[in-house]
Chains A and B, each alone.
Chain A
């Protein structure tokens, strides 16, 4: 018999294979595509602001995909079963966040160096962007889980999650963009980003599980 956590993980991964997981990457591509229309097709300029565009695109793609993290389980009653499961709700939520990140966060990290080529960001810098996204997207997913848990079951929850979570995600953005800066050497910002990811990995599941428990009718 599989443990409850691996069951949740396998179920979410199987559901994601059913479709819809690639939509975040398409949104990411759209942000990258739209930016040159806004700032002009000036490659040196795009190369300079490329890491910032990639980070903004990944941030928005992560936050806009969050409404499906718990909403589908709320609709089909799976959330009630998770409340009854023998595993602590915090760990179940953590497993769900992990599955969500594997299916929506990792594709963004993989796609980032590809899109970096389109923005004429050098190979060194695009690797830096990918590394910072690898640490930053889990932090964003953990923070976003709190917003998803708070708005679960709300009729107008869609735009509310980004409004609630974006101000809290600003530190991740600041250190993520700083870690992608080609002019900076060393692991200072990347270390802070790792610290943020670890901190939010604790805060996110605990706060999200508390919200789910308290808001259960």
Chain B
């Protein structure tokens, strides 16, 4: 119980905001440090691939972005359960802050994949199953953000987005399966590069450290985003109470 209480006390939004404020500088420092190490390892230490040459270094940005793109959706799905089942005040703040981050990392994964694809495949874009699934994921993020911005009241927007996120999370495996099936139906296997069964440690280690750096970056941005969202909601409440208690002098003039 004594171990659990510091964690459960963070469920209080204002305590969470204070905690996030104290944690943010440390997280920023850790992110910068691990990023510096990861970039040094990826750009200087790691050897160029014997087939792909220097372009293999794109992978150190591409793979962690792709992993965070999926991680952000998983986080949003869990937060949506929190919104609908426990009606937790922080769950929706977390889901809202994660959506633009997820969209940004999905875009980063698509863009770096495209940059890698030009020299490797000879085209900026191919309708490969993975690219296509990620494009659909990107559009789903955009749809979620559009739905949230279309609903003015935060509590209604929270519930609507939670339902859509959960319907999407039920659908994502179906979409993934059908896109894979569609791709094998339509395309020869020429563009799908032969998967490397084993990855050399000289490439694997920089990749893992880059993944840690990206995860730290996501955590930092997510925490800052959540704090900003809490402040934004408090400002909205203050504005609404101020408007409600405004003097009656602003009452509209009677019509003719």
Contact = CB atoms under 8 A, between A and B. Distances in A.
Given A156-B150, A170-B136, A214 B84 contact: yes
A170 B179 contact: yes
B164 A150 contact: yes
Contacts of A192: 178
Contact of A214 (B147, B159, B167, B168): B159
Main secondary structure of the interface of B (DSSP, over half): helix
Given A154-B151, A170-B175, A163 B146 contact: yes
Contact of B140 (A167, A171, A215): A167
Given A146-B167, A164-B164, A174 B159 contact: no
A72 interface: no
Contacts of A66: none
Contacts of A170: 136, 175, 178-179
B175 A151 contact: no
A157 B49 CA distance: 50
B182 interface: yes
Interface string B177-208: 11101100100000000000000000000000
A178 interface: yes
Nearest to A146: B167
Interface string A144-165: 0010001100101100100110
A146 to B, nearest CB: 6
A101 interface: no
Q: Give chain B's interface residue range (CB within 8 Å of chain A).
A: 20 to 34
A160 B150 contact: yes
Interface in A164-202: 164, 166-168, 170-171, 174-175, 178, 192, 196, 199
A200 B60 CA distance: 39
A160 B157 CA distance: 14
B143 A211 contact: no
Given A167-B136, A215-B156, A174 B147 contact: no
5 contacts: A150-B163, A164-B146, A164-B164, A167-B140, A199-B174
Interface of A: 146, 150-151, 154, 156-157, 160, 163-164, 166-168, 170-171, 174-175, 178, 192, 196, 199, 203, 207, 210-211, 214-215, 217
